[in-house]
């Protein structure tokens, strides 16, 4: 543009390039104000780019003390016609919206010939509806929500401040709230050591100054499924204690979940251990790929004109893919639900192994991703657990493929750990009442911490070296794999034992409390109205014996609650929260929008204010013809020729067509990239 449109020399072009580089910088100056001196600093189209270059030309001219201007057509013989002006003139005459085109459209309109074929908006809507029905039948109506991406790099949280929580621990020891033997400040640093000395805790001061290399300080571990009371959470604690950098994914990065991870880090971390918490839906392949890319790439931001590293590129060395959904259903229930379970239990695991193992292979010779697979002896023996058995059996195939598929096998080492009965987890917690019965048959059960310790024992240097030659299989089933346990029979035996000892237990059992709705409906006094003053025959009257209602307060039930007391009862809050999609009922339990199980008695306190803020009579927002809650007065106008105008979307175009279908059509203008509505003459 400098040498062409402005007709300036190459020297000007070089100076203008330098001016653009300096004058279009992002960020703020340390001395105040923006670094950018040209506008627009970040052009979004060709016109804005030309404006930026023109501004740079004028800035260079002002700095040199000369005046320049765009060339224009000369007034005398031999003058040069400005190409920009000539192009603009040609557009006005022969362009799509020029004089000739507009004249042609007018003539065609007078002859009754339509120049553009109207598009059938209903067909497109029908296609979308048919696609939605197909997805609902094949994958389930809830499939879009199940695979909706949740990953956001901006929401990732880093916990690496063990030195801060260590100082708090020291203060609590000095105050007598903690015992010195109960805390570990290994490698916390000189600041912590000095505080320990000040408080007279010389032993802890020496511990803080220790610079010994912790066993996992060189490792970057990726752990999925680390929810509270899970095996994976115990694994995270073990890794943090060893000084590792751990990346955990969570489907719900709520305030309470973040608080849990902060407490876990403060309790377990030692040395330079760090914990990244990343929100992600691992049932979404989009999120899986995004998380893998985020882990392997550096994250930066521009601050005061300087690049600041928010996250270094990480090269994972350990993977514990322990994420698992709620599993339910028999073979007869095979379908969308089982497919969704398989997606998270198997295919997400395979995608993580393949993606994470690629990171760093070009920069670190001999690098391998060491994977601990969560195997199980349950290959359908418990029954009623959906696709769980099939997914665990499929891990055998993953181990076998390691030898045949070097494209990923050469970058990984596998440990297939068969995990037994672990008490209190999301999968087995419901069977905790059967623990005594199963242990009486010689099967050992484990706590989360015990199983986590066993699993972490499989990431030592010796095991990694062995697994690099062939996958390692370990049995942590506690005898469950060899037993012929039947859950139904165990439940029957446990019930029989409980019934046999029921007399003694009844004497010490406390009264049971129903944890449900705290405000039952009160009975109202029956009324007997006097209709003696009514003279119209019943045959001549219209009697409404039942009515349905849907209004600003939901149904008649919730509206009646509000009218009666001015507030909502617990039942009203639950009904409205369910109607609004804040909660849902599934598998005999309530769940929130983040798939976290809710106790029924907690719903009222948690959702009362939110529900109340979304009901009642409210002002309408400005929509279509309605402005400030008022609809303008309308009158009929007769058009002597077609009137065309652009709208923002297909949906808006359809509203115009539906309002006057006999005299309105719409089409999509490919060149302009927008929808055009035509009101026909009449």
How distant, in Å, are the alpha carbons of 22, 30, 294, 309, 454 from that of 300? 21, 19, 11, 4, 38
- In the predicted structure, residue 603 carries a pLDDT above the cut 80: yes
Q: Which residues pair with 597 in a beta bridge?
A: 591
CA torsion 216→217→218→221, rounded to 10°? 60
For tokens 């993580």, what's the residue? 352
Backbone φ and ψ for 648, nearest 5 degrees, come out as -80, -30
Bridging pattern class, strands 306-311 and 318-321: unpaired
pLDDT (0 to 100) of residue 546: 66
% of the chain exceeding 70 in pLDDT? 82
pLDDT at residue number 595: 74
Q: What is the CA radius of gyration of the chain?
A: 35
What is the value of pTM for the model shown?
0.63
Distance CA 566, CA 559 (A): 10
- Segment holding 592, helix H or strand E: strand 589-592
Q: Are 459 and 467 in contact (CB under 8 A)?
A: no
- Rounded Cα gap, residues 653 and 660, in angstroms: 11
pLDDT reported for residue 453: 93
SS in 3 state form for 350-384? Answer: HHHHHHHHHCCCCCCCCCCEEEEEEECCCCCCCCC
User: Could you report the per-residue pLDDT of 441-466, keeping only the tens digit for each?
Assistant: 778 888 889 999 999 999 999 999 99
Q: How many CB atoms lie within 10 A of CB 437?
A: 20
Q: In the predicted model, what is the mean pLDDT of the chain?
A: 81
**Which sign does the torsion angle of CA 307, 310, 312, 314 carry?**
negative
pLDDT at residue number 22: 84
Query: What's the rounded mean pLDDT across residues 187-215?
Result: 82
Is the model's pLDDT at 292 over the cut of 90? yes
Helix, strand, or coil here: 315?
A: coil
Give the whole-angstrom CA distance, residue 162 versus residue 168. 10
The residues near 435 (Cβ < 8 Å, ≥ 6 apart) are 421, 423, 445
Strand pairing category for 412-419 and 597-598: unpaired
- Select from 374, 360, 365 the least CA-distant residue to 295: 360
Q: How far apart, in Å, are the Cα atoms of 109 and each of 91, 94, 95, 636, 665?
A: 22, 19, 19, 22, 14
Give the pLDDT score at 203.
Answer: 83
pLDDT value for 78:
46
Supply the pLDDT for residue 12.
85
Domains in the chain (CATH in brackets) are 10-64 (no CATH), 153-160+213-487 (3.40.50.720)
- Alpha carbon 582 to its chain centroid, in Å, reads 16
Residue 505 confidence (pLDDT): 46
At 340-355, the pLDDT tens digits run 888 999 999 999 999 9
Strands 299-303, 274-279: parallel, antiparallel or unpaired by DSSP? Answer: unpaired
CA atoms within 13 A on the CB side of 153: 16
- Look at residue 473 and tell me whether its pLDDT is greater than 90: yes
**Upper half-sphere CA count for residue 181 (Cβ side, 13 Å):** 0
| Over residues 46-54, mean pLDDT | 83
Contact 446, 420 (CB under 8 A): yes
Secondary structure letter of residue 158 according to DSSP: E
| pLDDT of 506 above 60 | no
Q: What is the pLDDT of residue 439?
A: 77
Question: Of 414 and 542, which is predicted with more confidence?
Answer: 414
- pLDDT confidence of residue 487: 65
What's residue 75's pLDDT? 46
Residue 295: what pLDDT? 94
Share of the chain above pLDDT 90, in %: 20
Extract the tokens encoding 227: 């929810």
pLDDT band at residue 519 under the 50/70/90 scheme: low
Q: Mean per-residue pLDDT for 586-606?
A: 82
- Strand 412-419 and strand 245-250: the pairing is unpaired
DSSP annotation of 623: B
Measured CA to CA, the distance from residue 562 to residue 549 in angstroms comes to 14
> Can you tell me the distance from the alpha carbon of 390 to that of 394, in angstroms, rounded to the nearest whole number?
6
DSSP secondary structure letter of residue 329: B
Q: Quick: pLDDT tens for 231-274.
A: 999 999 999 998 899 999 998 888 888 989 999 998 888 888 89
Least trusted range by pLDDT, from 113-127, 557-571, 622-636? 113-127
pLDDT digits (tens, 9 = 90+) for 69-114: 877 654 444 445 555 566 666 666 666 666 677 777 667 666 665 5
Checking if the pLDDT of 276 tops 70, the result is: yes
Q: What 3-state DSSP class applies to 416? A: strand
What pLDDT, on the 0 to 100 scale, is given for residue 121? 63
Tokens representing 450 are 């015990």
Higher pLDDT, 665 or 462: 462
Number of other residues whose CB lies within 10 A of the CB of residue 659 = 10
Strands of 20-171, DSSP E? 157-159
User: Confidence class of residue 159 from pLDDT cuts 50, 70 and 90?
Assistant: very high
Q: Which of 646, 643, 654 is nearest to 676 (CA)?
A: 646
Cα 314 from Cα 137, distance rounded (Å): 41
Instruction: Give the tokens for residue 401.
Output: 């493929």
Q: How far apart are CA 258 and CA 226, in angstroms?
A: 12
Q: Decide: helix, strand or coil at residue 435.
A: helix
The full DSSP string for 633-655 is P------SS-EEEEES-HHHHHH
Residue 49 has pLDDT above 80, yes or no: yes
pLDDT at 371: 95
Question: Which helix (DSSP H) or strand (DSSP E) does residue 221 occupy?
Answer: strand 220-224
């Amino acid at each position: 543009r400098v040498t062409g449109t402005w007709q300036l020399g190459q020297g000007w072009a070089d100076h203008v390039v330098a001016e653009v580089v300096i004058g279009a910088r992002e960020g703020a100056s340390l001395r105040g104000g923006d670094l950018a001196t040209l506008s627009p600093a970040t052009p979004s189209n060709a016109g804005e780019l030309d404006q930026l270059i023109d501004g740079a030309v004028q800035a260079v001219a002002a700095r040199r003390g000369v005046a320049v201007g765009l060339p224009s057509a000369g007034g005398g013989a031999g003058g040069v016609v400005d190409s920009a002006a000539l192009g603009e003139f040609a557009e006005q005459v022969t362009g799509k919206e020029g004089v000739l085109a507009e004249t042609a459209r007018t003539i065609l309109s007078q002859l009754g010939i339509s120049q553009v074929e109207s598009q059938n908006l209903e067909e497109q809507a029908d296609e979308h509806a048919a696609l939605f029905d197909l997805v609902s039948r094949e994958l389930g109506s809830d499939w879009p929500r199940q695979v909706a991406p949740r990953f956001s790099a901006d929401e990732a949280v880093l916990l690496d401040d063990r030195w801060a929580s260590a100082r708090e621990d020291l203060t609590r020891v000095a105050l007598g709230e903690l015992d010195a033997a109960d805390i570990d400040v290994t490698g916390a640093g000189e600041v912590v050591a000095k505080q320990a000395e000040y408080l007279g805790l010389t032993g802890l001061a020496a511990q803080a100054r220790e610079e010994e290399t912790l066993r996992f300080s060189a490792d970057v571990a990726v752990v999925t499924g680390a929810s509270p009371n899970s095996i994976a959470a115990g694994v995270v604690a073990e890794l943090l204690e060893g000084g590792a950098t751990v990346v955990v994914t969570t489907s719900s990065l709520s305030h309470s979940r973040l608080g849990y991870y902060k407490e876990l880090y403060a309790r377990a971390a030692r040395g330079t251990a760090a914990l990244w918490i990343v929100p992600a839906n691992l049932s979404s392949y989009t999120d899986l790929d995004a998380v893998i890319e985020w882990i392997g790439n550096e994250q930066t931001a521009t601050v005061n004109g300087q690049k600041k590293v928010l996250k270094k590129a990480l090269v994972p060395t350990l993977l514990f893919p322990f994420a698992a959904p709620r599993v339910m259903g028999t073979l007869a229930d095979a379908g969308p639900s089982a497919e969704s379970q398989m997606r998270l239990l198997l295919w997400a695991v395979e995608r993580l192994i393949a993606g994470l193992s690629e990171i760093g292979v070009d920069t670190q010779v001999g690098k391998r991703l060491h994977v601990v697979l969560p195997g199980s002896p349950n290959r359908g023996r418990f029954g009623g657990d959906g696709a769980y058995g099939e997914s665990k059996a499929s891990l055998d195939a993953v181990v076998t493929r390691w030898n045949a598929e070097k494209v990923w096998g050469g970058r990984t080492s596998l440990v297939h750990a068969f995990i037994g009965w672990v008490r209190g987890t999301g999968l087995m917690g419901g069977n905790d009442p059967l623990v005594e019965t199963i242990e009486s048959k010689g099967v050992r059960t484990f706590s989360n911490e015990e199983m986590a310790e066993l699993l972490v024992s499989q990431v030592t240097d010796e095991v990694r070296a062995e697994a690099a030659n062939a996958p390692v299989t370990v049995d942590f089933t506690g005898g469950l794999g060899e037993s012929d346990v039947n859950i139904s029979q165990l439940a029957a035996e446990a019930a029989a034992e409980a019934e046999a000892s029921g007399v003694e237990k009844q004497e010490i059992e406390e009264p049971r409390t129903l944890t449900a709705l705290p405000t039952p409906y009160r009975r109202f006094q029956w009324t007997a109205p006097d209709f003696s003053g009514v003279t119209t025959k019943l045959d001549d009257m219209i009697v409404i014996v039942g009515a349905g209602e849907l209004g600003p307060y939901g149904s008649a039930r919730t509206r009646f609650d509000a009218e009666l007391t001015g507030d909502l009862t617990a039942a009203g809050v639950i009904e409205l929260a369910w109607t609004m999609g804040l909660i849902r009922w599934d598998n005999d339990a309530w769940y929130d929008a983040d798939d976290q199980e809710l106790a029924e008695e907690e719903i009222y306190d948690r959702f009362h204010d939110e529900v109340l803020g979304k009901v009642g009579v409210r002002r309408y927002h400005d929509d279509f013809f309605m402005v400030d809650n008022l609809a303008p007065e309308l009158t009929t106008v007769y058009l002597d020729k077609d009137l065309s105008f652009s709208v923002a979307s297909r949906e808006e175009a359809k509203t115009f067509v539906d309002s006057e279908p006999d005299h309105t059509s719409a089409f999509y203008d490919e060149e302009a990239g927008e929808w055009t509505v035509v009101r026909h003459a009449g």
